[in-house]
Chain A
Amino acid sequence: MNIIVCIKQVPETTEVRINPETNTLIREGVKAIINPFDMYAIEESVRLKERFGGKITVISMGPPQADAALKEAISLGVDEGILLCDRAFAGSDTWATSYTLSGAIKLIGDYDLIICGKQASDGDTAQVGPGISAHLNIPQVTYVKKIEEVKDKTMRVERLMEEGFEIIETPLPAVLTVVKEINEPRLPSLKGMMRAKSAKITVWTQKELNLDPQNIGLCGSPTQVVKIFTPPQRSGGQILAGEVPEIAQKLVELLRSEIN
């Protein structure tokens, strides 16, 4: 079973700070890690490989330093890492990102399964996995919490819902996005770390991918970030006291005056 895992390098923090002038993430001084949800995707791919054999390729789109994330994935048992790195890809939204990743996946060609984390801890969109499936025109199952059964051309999985779970059988190849309930990621091994150290990360640019220039990077991104801001904290409020008819009357008056 050949598996492609898509990962993202994110800042190691749950409190993302944003530069109000450029509307971009402040990355300085924050350690970069593999998006925590992607760790579950990597682990699941390694478990599938241990059961069924095959090859795992991990891909990421990002700046040159994102090769550290790919090397870490190799230390965890992934076979090969490919970094999609080109200035032309900069400023991609989820649409352009999933388009670019799907271009790389087409170039890799031979795959049975694509696994992504359910969402990235910085952007929190949960759109890239489904976007890849749309661009490749293959099925997607999101929020997978368990792979129940793997057959030659199909797979049965459990999908986490707000109340309980769904069992879905999907033809392969397919895109799965996984939730943290699916497994407990392992730590790297010394052997893996040594392999990662000497591993060579393949870098693909627009030249290798040859994608439609209109669909990549900032100009290929339909999302226009107009403004990013931290919402002001709610202040005080007012508590009305008295008999119900009386305070109801007062409330209506206050609301009217707010509108005016």
Chain B
Amino acid sequence: MDYLLTEEQKMVKDLARKIAEEKIRPVAAKYDQSEEYPWEVINVIAEAGLFGLFIPEEYGGMANSVMNLCLATEELSRACGGIAVCYAASALGTFPIVLFGNEEQKRKYLPDLASGKKVAAFAVTEPEAGSDASAIKTTAKKEGDYYVLNGLKHFITNGGDAETYVVIAMTDKTKGARGASAFILEKGMPGFTFGKKEEKFGIRASSTRELIFTDCKVPKANLIAKEGMGFIATMRTFDMSRPGVAAQALGIAQGALDLAVKYAKERQQFGKSISSFQGIQWMIADMATEIEAARGLVYSTARMVDAGITGVSKESAMAKMYASDVAMKVSVDALQIFGGYGYMRDYPIEKYVRDAKITQIYEGTNQIQRNIIALQVIKEAAK
């Protein structure tokens, strides 16, 4: 399939693949086991300049586009979905600043994020506020030149390892979702600490941690946009970042298929490669076709965002939902092709199943994505 990529896009894809093959694949199992943050790889990605892909040039970024971010995330995920999400989650934490930050905030925070000197994180989820983001309990009370934050965020990707955090907190509880605001926090601010680090099923190279705010004083200059914009900033951020999660899922699916095809050609049973059996061939055909369909959806959505088309919630949700469902199915089938060996940790394929699962859950469960899609489709029909 020719994806009609530009020279620049090909360059991004080639570079990310090189990093994936030479620097990520050899250490993927190590980080999966140790659950340590993969700084050695993050530094390579930073030196290569890939953290600049989601930041405008005037703030130190380069080749800033969602399509480029998707290509990079897809290629990195082929080798390890966990390491790739450390990268993609920094994009997630950066988008609110890029989209809604003022000039001063952009100048202060974006250059270090573009160079990869620092990574970012986005904190919305709380124990009682998962799919229902309007149930957020963390509060931000204005006191003079500061907002004082109290509360707890959990399941925060890059938590503890990121230096820059965008945190959603309620400035006015009485207004529900419209009372939420977004703040930029820095690691080390007084009253900002980290709690439990989660032990996970998959994407174990990435860190997932609690953020705790105890009378945490945040300068009012760190309020993004204005009070009450938190929910809108979150939704717009997810519109931008969901193609990235979709690309992560796509990369996991492709990586699993690559391994399964290689294995099927090598594995001999009944005196032949198992790839010569129709049962295996049909599985491979279905996997490859579903991956291409997902890729078409992901790339089209990314290109829409880059073209400046607004109102891409439906397409973003479709790309995220479909690609992650494909990743789950393909990785399970890939493991099936590996047979008993696939179930063993000595082989790399079981990790793809574990890494794929989260893509159906985070940045909005696939059930929430379906809500978004259905609402939009019904709304369009009413026009």
Instruction: Please report the C-alpha to C-alpha distance between residue A193 and residue B19 in the assembled complex, in whole angstroms.
Output: 14
Q: Contact between B23 and A190 (Cβ–Cβ < 8 Å)? A: no
Contacts of B8 in A (CB 8 A): 194
* Cβ < 8 Å to A, chain B residues 38-65: 44, 47-50, 52-53, 62-63
* Cβ < 8 Å to B, chain A residues 170-229: 186-191, 193-194, 197
Chain B's interface: helix, strand, loop or mixed, by majority? helix
* Cβ < 8 Å to B, chain A residues 45-87: none
Cβ of B293 within 8 Å of any chain A Cβ, yes or no, is no
Q: Contact between B49 and A191 (Cβ–Cβ < 8 Å)? A: yes
Q: Contact between A187 and B19 (Cβ–Cβ < 8 Å)? A: yes
Q: Contact between B15 and A193 (Cβ–Cβ < 8 Å)? A: yes
Cβ of B129 within 8 Å of any chain A Cβ, yes or no, is no
Min C-beta distance of A9 to chain B, whole Å: 18
Q: Contact between B49 and A187 (Cβ–Cβ < 8 Å)? A: no
Instruction: Please report the C-alpha to C-alpha distance between residue A187 and residue B14 in the assembled complex, in whole angstroms.
Output: 11
Q: Contact between A190 and B11 (Cβ–Cβ < 8 Å)? A: yes
Contacts of A189 in B (CB 8 A): 15, 47-49
Contacts of A197 in B (CB 8 A): 7, 11
Interface residues on A, range: under 10
Cβ of B22 within 8 Å of any chain A Cβ, yes or no, is yes
Instruction: Please report the C-alpha to C-alpha distance between residue A186 and residue B49 in the assembled complex, in whole angstroms.
Output: 13
Q: Contact between B11 and A187 (Cβ–Cβ < 8 Å)? A: no
Q: B1-30 CB contact bits vs A (8 Å, 1 = yes)?
A: 000000110011001001100110000000
Q: Contact between A187 and B62 (Cβ–Cβ < 8 Å)? A: no
Instruction: Please report the C-alpha to C-alpha distance between residue A197 and residue B22 in the assembled complex, in whole angstroms.
Output: 22
- Give B46's nearest chain A residue, CB to CB: A189
Interface residues on B, range: 10 to 19
Instruction: Please report the C-alpha to C-alpha distance between residue A15 and residue B334 in the assembled complex, in whole angstroms.
Output: 33
Chain A's interface: helix, strand, loop or mixed, by majority? helix
Q: Contact between A187 and B18 (Cβ–Cβ < 8 Å)? A: yes
Known contacts A191-B62, A193-B15; decide if A186 and B47 are in contact (CB<8 Å): yes
Contacts of B12 in A (CB 8 A): 190
Contacts of A191 in B (CB 8 A): 49, 62
Contacts of B7 in A (CB 8 A): 197
Contacts of A187 in B (CB 8 A): 15, 18-19, 22-23, 44, 47-48
Known contacts A197-B7, A197-B11; decide if A190 and B50 are in contact (CB<8 Å): yes
Instruction: Please report the C-alpha to C-alpha distance between residue A189 and residue B15 in the assembled complex, in whole angstroms.
Output: 8
Min C-beta distance of A46 to chain B, whole Å: 12
Min C-beta distance of B69 to chain A, whole Å: 12
Min C-beta distance of A228 to chain B, whole Å: 33
Known contacts A197-B7, A197-B11; decide if A190 and B44 are in contact (CB<8 Å): no
Instruction: Please report the C-alpha to C-alpha distance between residue A187 and residue B22 in the assembled complex, in whole angstroms.
Output: 9
Min C-beta distance of A33 to chain B, whole Å: 12
Instruction: Please report the C-alpha to C-alpha distance between residue A136 and residue B330 in the assembled complex, in whole angstroms.
Output: 61
Interface centre among A186, A188, A190, A194 (most CB of B within 10 A): A190
- Give A186's nearest chain B residue, CB to CB: B47
Instruction: Please report the C-alpha to C-alpha distance between residue A190 and residue B47 in the assembled complex, in whole angstroms.
Output: 9
Q: A146-171 CB contact bits vs B (8 Å, 1 = yes)?
A: 00000000000000000000000000
Q: Contact between B18 and A190 (Cβ–Cβ < 8 Å)? A: no
Q: B243-270 CB contact bits vs A (8 Å, 1 = yes)?
A: 0000000000000000000000000000
Instruction: Please report the C-alpha to C-alpha distance between residue A192 and residue B375 in the assembled complex, in whole angstroms.
Output: 45
Instruction: Please report the C-alpha to C-alpha distance between residue A187 and residue B8 in the assembled complex, in whole angstroms.
Output: 17
Interface centre among A193, A194, A197 (most CB of B within 10 A): A193
Contacts of B19 in A (CB 8 A): 187
- Give B18's nearest chain A residue, CB to CB: A187
Instruction: Please report the C-alpha to C-alpha distance between residue A237 and residue B168 in the assembled complex, in whole angstroms.
Output: 79
Known contacts A197-B7, A197-B11; decide if A190 and B22 are in contact (CB<8 Å): no
Instruction: Please report the C-alpha to C-alpha distance between residue A189 and residue B50 in the assembled complex, in whole angstroms.
Output: 8
Instruction: Please report the C-alpha to C-alpha distance between residue A187 and residue B52 in the assembled complex, in whole angstroms.
Output: 16
Instruction: Please report the C-alpha to C-alpha distance between residue A186 and residue B19 in the assembled complex, in whole angstroms.
Output: 10
Contacts of B53 in A (CB 8 A): 190
- Give B50's nearest chain A residue, CB to CB: A190
Instruction: Please report the C-alpha to C-alpha distance between residue A191 and residue B63 in the assembled complex, in whole angstroms.
Output: 9
B63 is contacted by which of A186, A188, A190 (Cβ under 8 Å)? Answer: A190
Interface centre among A186, A187, A197 (most CB of B within 10 A): A187
Known contacts A186-B47, A187-B44, A188-B48; decide if A194 and B11 are in contact (CB<8 Å): yes
Min C-beta distance of A189 to chain B, whole Å: 5
Min C-beta distance of A77 to chain B, whole Å: 11
Instruction: Please report the C-alpha to C-alpha distance between residue A5 and residue B8 in the assembled complex, in whole angstroms.
Output: 28
- Write the residues of chain B forming the contact surface with A, with a CB cutoff of 8 angstroms: 7-8, 11-12, 15, 18-19, 22-23, 44, 47-50, 52-53, 62-63
Q: List 25 A-B contacts (CB under 8 A).
A: A186-B47, A187-B15, A187-B18, A187-B19, A187-B22, A187-B23, A187-B44, A187-B47, A188-B18, A188-B48, A189-B48, A189-B49, A190-B12, A190-B15, A190-B49, A190-B50, A190-B52, A190-B53, A190-B62, A190-B63, A193-B11, A193-B15, A194-B8, A194-B11, A194-B62
A-B pairs with lowest CB-CB distance, top 6 = A190-B49, A189-B49, A193-B11, A189-B48, A191-B49, A187-B18
Can you add 7 more A-B contacts, CB < 8 Å, to A190-B11, A190-B48, A197-B7? A187-B47, A188-B48, A189-B47, A189-B48, A189-B49, A190-B53, A191-B62
